[in-house]
Amino acid sequence: MLMSTQANRYAHQLLDARAGAQLIPPLSAHEPLSTADGYDIAKCIWETRIAQGEVQIGRKIGFTNRKIWSRYGVAEPIHMPIWTPMFDSTVRYIDDNRAIQSLVGALQPRVGPEVVFRLAKTPAPDATLAAIADCIEWMAHAFEIVACPFPDWKFEEADAIAAFGLHGALLIGEPKSLSSASRRNLPQVLASASVSLSCGEELRAAGFGGDVWGSPVHALWQLNQMLAAQPQFEPLTAGEIITTGTWADVLPIAPGQTWATAFSGVSLPGLAISFV
């Protein structure tokens, strides 16, 4: 277990690395870190960002896609979802499902296609999957730009938790309001849907909603369960934006590229993002 002074020291190392766009060694290279240690560091970062005037608007869930677990982690593969707070400074809504996004300052950026939910109601700590789905106001497709301050994307689970959950930016497309009937069927609909990810004219990746912890709604349920076991953090509340994890492995991006998505099996428009 980390001393609070060490957790705070690691937190400021990560904040400085992000502000200066500088790579640093994984924190776990200095000493073994547990999952709880990672969240202690994340809490220090949260407190600092709130004190600096940032506004938390939601949460990012990461590593919900079981198919990519074996590609991350050094001593052992990452094998469970993680989460991190999201702030207003890294989230934007885009018009007409097209946007230009700067990569200035992004460390080793990659991109992944996700589904985002906005909560209309606060879920109970023991909410069932159906109850969680009933709390969703709308869903939208989004691109998450992930960033990694550790060389060559080599890290352990605690490092990823501490380093902002590897969150860089979230670009949210047109929200789609959900009826009661849509919410009831949403876990199954999203589990069966698929997305393709292209760079220019080249298809680069594809994935299914079912790869995301069984369904993005299941991922939201899992986050609610995790928070129930972490009393040091606030539970989910109405109005939060939740991004639920990539449907395909995140891929490196560079200025000059345009990435686009297309869905099958769910009525969500694709996005086209040009990076500069």
pLDDT of residue 45: 98
Structure confidence by residue, pLDDT tens digits, 45-79: 999 999 999 999 999 999 999 999 999 998 888 98
- DSSP label of 212: B
Q: Which string of b and e fits 229-238 if b means at least 16 CB within 10 Å?
A: eeeebeebee
Residue type, 8: N
Question: Rg of the chain's alpha carbons, rounded to an integer?
Answer: 18
2 pLDDT exceeds 90? no
Q: What is the mean pLDDT of the chain?
A: 96
The dihedral built from the CA positions of residue 127, 173, 249 and 204, taken in this order, carries a sign that is positive
Structure confidence by residue, pLDDT tens digits, 161-212: 999 999 999 999 999 999 999 999 999 999 999 999 999 999 999 999 999 9
pLDDT > 90: percent of the chain: 95
pLDDT of residue 3: 84
- Count the Cβ atoms, other than its own, within 10 Å of residue 224: 21
pLDDT of residue 76: 87
Structure confidence by residue, pLDDT tens digits, 78-98: 989 999 999 999 999 999 999
Phi, psi torsion values for 181, nearest 5 degrees: -65, -40
pLDDT of residue 162: 98
Tell me which residue of 133, 115, 220, 119 sits closest to 172, measured CA to CA: 115
17 pLDDT exceeds 80? yes
Architecture of domain 4-275: Alpha-Beta Complex (3.90)
Q: Where are the domains of the chain?
A: 4-275
pLDDT of residue 110: 98
Structure confidence by residue, pLDDT tens digits, 131-173: 999 999 999 999 999 999 999 999 999 999 999 999 999 999 9
**Spatial CB neighbours of 260, under 8 Å, sequence gap ≥ 6:** 197, 198, 270, 271, 272, 273
Structure confidence by residue, pLDDT tens digits, 254-270: 999 999 999 999 999 99
Residue type, 125: P
